[in-house]
Amino acid sequence: MAAGFAPPKLKDFILTQRLGSGTYATVYKAFRKTDSREAVAVKVVSKKSLNKSSVENLLTEIEILKTVRHPHIVQLKDFQWDSENIYLILEWCSGGDLSRFIRSRRILPERVARRCLQQIACALQFLHEKNISHLDLKPQNILLSGNVLKLADFGFAQYMSPWDEQQALRGSPLYMAPEIVCRRYYDARVDLWSVGVILYEALFGRAPFASRSFTELEEKIRSEKHIELPSGARVSRDCRDLLLRLLERDPDRRITFDEFFLHPFVDLEHMPSAESLGKAKALVLQALQKDQDGERSAALSLYCSALEHFVPAIHYETDRQKKEALRQKVNQYVSRAEELKALVRSDNKNSFEEAKSTRNILIEMSRDQPRLLAALEVASTAVAREEGGAEDYDTLDLYQQSLGELLLALAGKSTPKQQLSNHPEQNCKHLVTT
């Protein structure tokens, strides 16, 4: 839009700083003409610059933003029009955009990138439930308000059911899914590719297909070569898994929305939110009760679960005094959890020693019974794995094999000594002590 040197006049608002401009719109910072002087962003769309396609996009953007209310989506407060322009009055986000945030830090630590991803995923989950696809996800369209990320610029957004397909070229080339660049039919899954590019850029400081020209970019995207992380990339296993599944060229092999929302790296269950503190308090009350009842292992597990919600609750809290009070509470629970951990470890060690003594006696008594002796040796292997810290299905399988053989042997009275069959349930309990 040709904005001129002075911003346009708008009833009830004073337009000030020009924030940016696109093909047919310019965005200004503005203040409401009231005592509160509420800050807003005003998107000014020139009617002259609109063609049929852009009119449809604008109407869809207004329709979508009028109906959605979400903490991680920029709110449309109002819209007006006059003879020359259409005005979208939007929520003001004072922290700039995610692109500037990444550039100012060059790369983001994985924990920070993860927190950003959680907020993007939360907004996408909300949109996905309403069959809305953004279709232009990129760091420039993700705004910051304090520590909160908000999706913005729904100019290309569409109502798309999972089975709906499009062919029109939409989005920004660097963040476009291959199926769009290659001008094939595409669907809502293109947003997942864009999320992968954003996460990659946040972690490594550049997009995976960073190029000097669109031709070079198109060649890279059309290539059948699998996406690889930069050499020497130090990211967690879950992060690597998610990145490579998001950046899958074939949409049919790409991670699905449901898989994305449930992925352990996204971990929406533990993202900072208004519900975090309530979840933490509910769990810590259960932990305190188990602690009072002397159920150490159960109490430890509940304290740990509570802490997984207390930490995001601290991140979500904006009041400094409340945040500090939460930190002090969390430190108390951490200290108690560490005490319980030591006690549980001591209990387990004593249990292992008792089991080892009984097991050695049984092995000595079973020298003339090969089948029973083999079962006891399997049990010894399982116990050794558990003592070494292994807590996997292989260890459990060894326990099950051993116990099955022992029960068969005991039922058939094939033990060498009568002591073994007098109290089989006690002997088995010693053998599989966990």
* pLDDT (0 to 100) of residue 108: 96
CA 352 to chain centroid = 38
If one counts every other C-beta atom within 10 angstroms of the C-beta of residue 8, the result is 17
Which tops the pLDDT comparison, 178 or 40? 40
- Give dist(CA 117, CA 199) in Å, integer: 7
- Read off the pLDDT of residues 245-297 as tens digits, 9 standing for 90 and up: 999 999 999 999 999 999 999 999 999 999 999 999 999 999 999 999 999 89
**pLDDT value at residue 161:** 55
**Contact status, residue 203 vs residue 117, Cβ threshold 8 Å:** no
Using pLDDT thresholds of 50, 70 and 90, give the confidence band for residue 428. very low
User: What's the confidence (pLDDT) of residue 350?
Assistant: 59
pLDDT in tens, 67-95: 999 999 999 999 999 988 999 999 999 99
Higher pLDDT pick, 291 / 1? 291
Residue linked to tokens 């099955």 = 404
Check for a shared fold between 276-345 and 366-431.
yes
Q: How high is the mean pLDDT of the chain?
A: 83
The pTM of this model reads: 0.74
Nearest to 198 by CA among 277, 115, 99, 126: 99
- Quick: pLDDT tens for 103-138: 999 999 999 999 999 999 999 999 999 999 998 999
Residue from 97, 136, 191, 291 carrying the catalytic annotation: 136
CATH class of 276-345: mainly alpha
* Residue range 13-91 in CATH 3.20.20.70: no
Domain boundaries, the chain: 13-91, 98-268, 276-345, 366-431
Mean pLDDT score, 366-394: 66
Q: Given strand 13-21, what is the order of strands in its sheet? A: 13-21, 25-32, 39-46, 85-91, 76-81
What number does CATH give the domain 98-268?
1.10.510.10
Is 70 exceeded by the pLDDT of residue 414?
no
- Binding site: which residues? 43
The fold of the 366-431 domain, in CATH, is Methane Monooxygenase Hydroxylase; Chain G, domain 1 (1.20.58)
- For the segment 2-12, the average pLDDT, to the nearest whole number, is 74
On the question of pLDDT at 417 being above 50, the answer is: no
177 has a pLDDT exceeding 80:
yes
- Return the pLDDT at 111: 93
Whether 136 sits among the annotated catalytic residues: the reply is yes
d(CA 68, CA 74): 9
Q: Has residue 198 got a pLDDT over 80? A: yes
Q: Which residues are annotated as a binding site for ATP?
A: 43
Query: Between 272 and 22, whose confidence is greater?
Result: 272
